[in-house]
Amino acid sequence: MCIESIFEVILYGLLSGAITALLGYAKSVGEKFDGFKAFYTLVIGAIVGAVGGYFGMDYYSAYDWLMSIGAITVIQYAIKAIWRRIHKT
């Protein structure tokens, strides 16, 4: 597989993961919009989608795999730390 097609697969996975995550967030009825939660959901979804695209997994398999190795927790902590540094909360 050439490098361009690898990036293309990762990009498609990233976009589909982000869309999947945002749709999941949007379906929460009655919940007040929270910018941080929307951003957080988008980033996690994009990373999961990119990993899934690279390894040829569907979104949920990639999420389960990343969760099982602790990567989701690390990503969550990193996002929260960066957000807090930027917004000083």
- What is each CA distance from 7 to 22, 30, 68, 75, 80, in whole angstroms? 22, 38, 25, 21, 27
pLDDT at residue 16, as a whole number: 84
Low-confidence residues of the chain, pLDDT below 50? none
pTM for the full predicted model = 0.78
pLDDT at residue 89, as a whole number: 55
What are the residue ranges spanned by the domains of the chain?
A: 3-87
pLDDT at residue 25, as a whole number: 73
